[in-house]
Structure 1
Amino acid sequence: MDTLLSIRARGLTKCFGDVVALDGIDLDVAQGQIHGLVGPNGAGKTTLLGLLLGLAVADNGRLEILGTALGRKPAAPDGVAGFVDGPGLYPSLTARQNLAAMAALSGGGARSARIDDVLEQVGLTDVADDRTRGFSLGMRQRLGLAATLLTKPRLLVLDEPSNGLDPAGKKHVHGVLTRLAADGTTVVLSSHRMDDLEALCSEVTILATGRVVFSGPLSKLAAENRELDYRLLTSDPPVARRVAGETPGIRVVDGAGTQDSERLVVRALVPALDDLVVRLVRAGIALRELTPVVSPLEAAFLALTEAQEAGR
């Protein structure tokens, strides 16, 4: 049985004058998936999000949202909610009043219990009756997320939802998005925070100069790309360094990180790294930490987008 798709795009192009914002974009996003959208400034992320939200239409190509092909006029597809470039709020109104006003503008209304529920979900119950002009950036982002939840969307499209969040706020937002996906809601989010994407997303799409340079599972991205630097903390650093030097495919890296006598930095592909871990265990060395110096997503992002820019 084929996977149900919330988004199916084929050959999407969008130009603004002589500027090609999107150049033949293909994209599939499965129902109930949290899908990350990554790219440098000017890559076309915001334009693509705008198409998904019905704020604009493509010049060419086909876009299906929740099984319905979009027409040639901008229109918000049924079952879709989200925001681009941050949520729009009324600064003189309280958080609760903002949500009531947004619900009214969307053509319906929201019961007080529903407003209370979404405020609780995003962790803003304590400031529900405070005017939003005094809200921090992170609080405004969370209130924007609460507004999108009022309609119980089947597809949620978010632009930098973690922008300005403190650790508590990020925990709330991550929890909300994870629960939504578990209940079958599809989430597409754009972010420059690679740690957020790796924590939340099962698949990512990387854009560069308006084109897709990668789309697929994070595991495939890590496995298919070049060697990464890894930081190792073991119970016996001198012996670990010797074992690493004897392991095929492993290079001990000089420079930043290796001046710490407790930690070892090595460069390797994943299979060679797995072999090193086995050899350390066999040598009776405890492995206390194994982390990439730069995350696989960030490393692939830099390599793929730089290659695309160089080939323009």
Structure 2
Amino acid sequence: MDIPPAVRARAVTKCFGEVVALDGVDLDVAPGQLHGLVGPNGAGKTTLLGLLLGLAVADTGTLEILGTPVGRALAVPEGVAGFVDGPGLYPSMTARQNLSALAALRGDGTMKIDEAIDQVGLTDVADDRVRGFSLGMRQRLGLAAALLTKPRLLILDEPSNGLDPAGKKHVYGVLTKLAADGTAVILSSHRMDDVEALCSEVTILATGRVAFTGPISKLASEDTDLDYRVRTSDPVAGRRAALATPGIRLHETGLADNARNADDARDTGDVELLVVSATVPALDEFVKRLVREGVAVRELAPVVSPLEAAFLALTEQQETN
């Protein structure tokens, strides 16, 4: 038996007065997929999340969630959970009381509450009042509230807001496990590193329209020039190899902080930073040349990731329109 997609949207349009928030949006999200949703402010992300959570209804187009057509507000099927613009919590109640109240409203028992609190790493503060929680702790409690329903589709808006590195790692682990167990997760974030670390596919919105949707790996064509940071064991040979490789454009070099000049950097084992612009094939040839000349590559990374580059390009395009 075929499993229906978690989300299938076709030509979805939503207007608020004369403002077109979504304009013919198509979206496909499979079960078990971590799907990123990004775009400049005003691109329509919050409106789309609201439709998926049943907080509003599309004006035109079709929307299916977990195999069920959705044509009116508050009509999403069971198995959908999440939050937009931060979770709604009772500040005068404790974390455990918040989840107990939510479970009671839904007619659920309370046996899962401790499990949900433990999953998001809040066991030590389960009986503390939420008014004293940091933003990151509130975000994790909102995630725990969503987990109570054992969702098949989880919608999260800026879930890493306020999280310290340990908290972020914990949340990453929870979301990765949910996806591995078959839950579809749609994650909207302005943090490109979050989306790239977690999501296999991404949808980029701009002025209410889909500018790109698909695997993150397809964002940058092999024929597209990107800027890369390159650190080598021999700065002189590295620079020479860059200049000698067709298709490599050398932007700048920078010596390591504790190296007085290029010769010192080479002799002491310090590295020099090269910034080059290249297509993927040209970059491959550059690395091969370095290897042939016995130069070690200590670092090779894009200055700006393909996802961030696409986001910046859309933002700049909006500002010029």
TM-score interval (norm. to shorter): over 0.9
Q: Which amino acid aligns with 1:286?
A: A
What residue in structure 1 maps to residue 14 of structure 2?
14
Partner of residue 151 from structure 1, selected from 140, 149, 152: 149
Q: Deviations over 1:163-207 (max 9, x none)?
A: 111001100110000000001100001000100100000000000
1:98/1:190 CA distance change after superposition, 3 Å: same
Q: Distance in 2 between matches of 1:104 and 1:41?
A: 36
1:1-312 correspondence to structure 2 within 5 Å: 4-105=4-105, 107-112=106-111, 114-223=112-221, 226-254=224-252, 258=254, 260=256, 262-307=272-317, 310=320
Bigger shift: residues 264-273 or 141-150: 264-273
Q: Verify the 8 A CA contact 2:13 2:61 in the aligned structure 1.
A: yes
Report the 3-state secondary structure (helix = DSSP H, G, I; strand = E; otherwise coil) of the residue aligned with 2:108. Answer: coil
In the TM superposition, residue 4 of structure 1 has moved relative to its aligned partner by: 4.6
Q: Verify the 8 A CA contact 2:65 2:76 in the aligned structure 1.
A: no
In the TM superposition, residue 223 of structure 1 has moved relative to its aligned partner by: 2.7
Q: Deviations over 1:144-172 (max 9, x none)?
A: 00100001000000000001110011001
**TM-score, length of structure 2 as denominator length:** 0.91
Q: Distance in 2 between matches of 1:282 and 1:129?
A: 62
Q: Distance in 2 between matches of 1:307 and 1:3?
A: 39
Q: Deviations over 1:20-57 (max 9, x none)?
A: 00000011111110000000110000000000000000
Report the 3-state secondary structure (helix = DSSP H, G, I; strand = E; otherwise coil) of the residue aligned with 1:26. Answer: strand
Report the 3-state secondary structure (helix = DSSP H, G, I; strand = E; otherwise coil) of the residue aligned with 1:179. Answer: helix
Report the 3-state secondary structure (helix = DSSP H, G, I; strand = E; otherwise coil) of the residue aligned with 2:274. Answer: strand
Name structure 2 gaps, 5 residues minimum: 257-261, 263-271
Q: Deviations over 1:55-77 (max 9, x none)?
A: 00000000000111102333332
Name structure 1 gaps, 5 residues minimum: none
In the TM superposition, residue 222 of structure 1 has moved relative to its aligned partner by: 2.5
Q: Deviations over 1:58-100 (max 9, x none)?
A: 0000000011110233333211000000001101111111111
Q: Which amino acid aligns with 2:207?
A: T
Q: Deviations over 1:196-227 (max 9, x none)?
A: 10000000000000000000101101236732
Q: Distance in 1 between matches of 2:300 and 2:209?
A: 34
1:180/1:48 CA distance change after superposition, 3 Å: same
Q: Distance in 1 between matches of 2:40 and 2:191?
A: 12
Report the 3-state secondary structure (helix = DSSP H, G, I; strand = E; otherwise coil) of the residue aligned with 2:219. Answer: helix
1:242/1:224 CA distance change after superposition, 3 Å: closer
In the TM superposition, residue 303 of structure 1 has moved relative to its aligned partner by: 1.7
How many pairs were matched up?
Answer: 307
Report the aligned-residue RMSD: 1.8
Report the 3-state secondary structure (helix = DSSP H, G, I; strand = E; otherwise coil) of the residue aligned with 2:220. Answer: helix
Report the 3-state secondary structure (helix = DSSP H, G, I; strand = E; otherwise coil) of the residue aligned with 2:10. Answer: strand
Q: Verify the 8 A CA contact 1:229 1:267 in the aligned structure 2.
A: yes
Q: Verify the 8 A CA contact 2:94 2:130 in the aligned structure 1.
A: yes
**Larger Rg belongs to:** 2
Q: Distance in 2 between matches of 1:158 and 1:225?
A: 34
1:306/1:224 CA distance change after superposition, 3 Å: farther
In the TM superposition, residue 120 of structure 1 has moved relative to its aligned partner by: 1.2
Q: Verify the 8 A CA contact 1:207 1:305 in the aligned structure 2.
A: no
Q: Deviations over 1:252-287 (max 9, x none)?
A: 113xx6365621111112222122112211211111
Q: Distance in 2 between matches of 1:204 and 1:306?
A: 20
Q: Which amino acid aligns with 1:189?
A: L
**TM-score, length of structure 1 as denominator length:** 0.94
In the TM superposition, residue 309 of structure 1 has moved relative to its aligned partner by: 5.9
Instruction: Give every structure 1 segment of 4 or more consecutive aligned residues whose post-TM-superposition deviation is greater than 3 Å.
Output: 1-4, 257-261, 304-310
1:3/1:305 CA distance change after superposition, 3 Å: farther
Q: Which amino acid aligns with 2:302?
A: P
Q: Distance in 1 between matches of 2:166 and 2:210?
A: 33
Q: Which amino acid aligns with 1:108?
A: G
Q: Which amino acid aligns with 1:184?
A: G
